[in-house]
């Protein structure tokens, strides 16, 4: 085990730590106030590990929803994970024994940290990905258990700290923009999703946006994109 890998991975995950601890705590509090204590928060954060789905899950569980409803809601809310996996197939190809774990750990935030990160130079990239994934999951579990133990809001105001997730994506977007020679994919993602949000509303926009993004990028490939192959 290389301690340099652990250190680099930890530094990379600090922005996620802030967001996950707070959002996890919020989840733990919500679940506790719905009558489900620490073991439930721990189990959900360990086995589901999908932020917005767990929040939705609390209301599904307390409402006594049917298994079919839960399956379809999960499909709707988490369909975007298909997208993450498709774009990581090539990157995780040679991840060996880390692969199943890395796949299970692909949340929005872990994805955005790792999708364009070649890892620190001279170090094992899969070990680095493993620790980035592990740290993030650890923050999420820790946050939800803390929230469950506290059972009420923190004594100081953390209002607005959830913006760290938005800032993470905005920063990744900016960094990708600065390094990419082709800005069409970034603009396609941004503008298509914005258009779908306006047309379909905030509950249903994500799946149409994903389909449309895939369609546009596919058409662009078929119509002879001169830059294909670069990257």
Burial, 132: exposed, middle or buried (Cβ in 10 Å; 0-12, 13-18, 19+)?
buried
Taking the least distance from each CB to other proteins, the nearer of 4 and 171 is: 171
CB-based contact 44:143 (threshold 8 Å): no
Taking the least distance from each CB to other proteins, the nearer of 123 and 200 is: 200
Taking the least distance from each CB to other proteins, the nearer of 1 and 99 is: 99
At its nearest, how many Å lie between other proteins and the CB of residue 170?
5
At its nearest, how many Å lie between other proteins and the CB of residue 19?
8
Taking the least distance from each CB to other proteins, the nearer of 1 and 208 is: 208
- What is the maximum span of the chain, computed from C-alpha positions, in angstroms? 58
At its nearest, how many Å lie between other proteins and the CB of residue 35?
8
Distance CA 24, CA 44 (A): 11
Distance CA 35, CA 30 (A): 9
Taking the least distance from each CB to other proteins, the nearer of 43 and 153 is: 43
Distance CA 155, CA 137 (A): 25
Other CB atoms within a 10 A radius of the CB of residue 198 amount to 10
Distance CA 228, CA 220 (A): 10
At its nearest, how many Å lie between other proteins and the CB of residue 165?
6
CB-based contact 93:224 (threshold 8 Å): no
At its nearest, how many Å lie between other proteins and the CB of residue 149?
19
């Amino acid at each position: 085990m290389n301690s340099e890998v652990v250190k680099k991975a930890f530094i990379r995950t600090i922005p996620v730590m802030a967001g996950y601890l707070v959002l996890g705590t919020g989840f733990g509090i919500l679940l506790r106030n719905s009558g489900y204590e620490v073991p439930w928060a721990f189990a959900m954060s360990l086995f589901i590990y999908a932020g917005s789905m767990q929040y939705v899950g609390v209301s599904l569980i307390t409402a006594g929803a049917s298994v079919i409803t839960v399956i379809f809601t999960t499909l709707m809310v988490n369909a975007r994970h298909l997208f993450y996996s498709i774009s990581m197939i090539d990157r995780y190809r040679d991840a060996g024994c880390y692969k199943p774990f890395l796949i299970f750990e692909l949340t929005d935030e872990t994805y955005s940290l790792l999708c364009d990160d070649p890892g620190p130079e001279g170090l094992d990239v899969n070990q680095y990905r493993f620790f980035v994934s592990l740290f993030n999951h650890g923050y999420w579990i820790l946050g939800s258990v803390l929230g469950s133990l506290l059972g009420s809001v923190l004594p100081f105001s953390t209002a607005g700290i959830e913006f760290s997730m938005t800032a993470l994506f905005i920063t990744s977007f900016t960094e990708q923009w600065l390094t990419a020679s082709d800005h069409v994919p970034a603009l396609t993602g941004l503008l298509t999703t914005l258009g779908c949000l306006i047309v379909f509303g905030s509950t249903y926009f994500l799946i149409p946006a994903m389909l449309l993004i895939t369609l546009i990028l596919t058409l662009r490939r078929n119509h002879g994109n001169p830059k294909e192959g670069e990257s």
